[in-house]
Amino acid sequence: MLIPVRRTTLFPVHEELDAKLILFEGWEMPLQYTSIMEEHVNTRENASLFDITHMGEFLVEGSQAHDLLQYVCTNDLSLIGPGGAQYSPMCNDDGTVVDDIFCYCYSRSKYRLFVNASNRQKDLLWLETHAVRFDNVTVKNVSDERTRMTLQGPKSQDILESLVPDNLDEMKRFTFIETNISGISAFIARTGYTGEDGFEISCKNSDGIAIWEYIMAAGKEFGILPAGLGARDTLRLEASYSLYGHEISEEITPIEGGVEFVVKPTKKEDYIGRKVLETQLNSFISRKIIAIEAMDRGVFRHDQDVYDKTGEVWIGKITSGTFSPTFKKGIALALVNSKYKVIGDEVLVRVRDRFIRGKIVHRPFYDYHPRSK
> Both 223 and 292 in a single domain?
no
Domain harbouring 173, CATH code: 3.30.1360.120
Structural domain contains residue 293 = yes
Quick one: pLDDT at residue 2?
67
Mean pLDDT, consecutive 10-residue stretches, the chain (373 aa), reads: 86 99 97 99 99 99 99 99 99 99 99 98 99 98 99 99 98 98 99 98 99 99 99 99 98 98 96 98 96 97 98 98 98 98 97 96 94 69
| 255 burial via Cβ count (<10 Å: 0-12, 13-18, 19+) | buried
Q: How many helices (H) and strands (E) does the chain have?
A: 8, 19
Q: Quick check: 124 and 116 in contact, CB under 8 A?
A: no
Structural domain contains residue 83 = no
Neighbouring C-alpha atoms within 13 Å toward the C-beta of 18: 2
- What pTM did the predictor assign? 0.96
> Both 41 and 152 in a single domain?
yes
Query: Tell me: the pLDDT tens digits for 254-307?
Result: 999 999 999 999 999 999 999 999 999 999 999 999 999 999 999 999 999 999
Last residue of a domain, one of 219, 238, 257: 238
Distance CA 297, CA 163 (A): 45
Domain carrying residue 228: 11-52+145-238
Per-residue buried b or exposed e for 99-133, using 16+ beta carbons within 10 Å of the residue's own CB: bbbbbbbbebeebbbbbbbbbbebbbebbeebbee
Query: Tell me: the pLDDT tens digits for 119-175?
Result: 999 999 999 999 999 999 999 999 999 999 999 999 999 999 999 999 999 999 999
Structural domain contains residue 314 = yes
Structural domain contains residue 158 = yes
> Both 187 and 290 in a single domain?
no
Question: Per the structure, how many domains does the chain have?
Answer: 2
Distance CA 100, CA 104 (A): 14
> Both 167 and 31 in a single domain?
yes
> Both 229 and 151 in a single domain?
yes
Structural domain contains residue 111 = no
- Residue 206, C-beta contacts closer than 8 angstroms, at least 6 positions apart: none
> Both 156 and 299 in a single domain?
no
> Both 230 and 314 in a single domain?
no
Quick one: pLDDT at residue 372?
67
Quick one: pLDDT at residue 371?
80
DSSP assignments along 79-137, one per residue: G--TTEEEEEEEE-TTS-EEEEEEEEEEETTEEEEEE-GGGHHHHHHHHHHHHTTSSS-
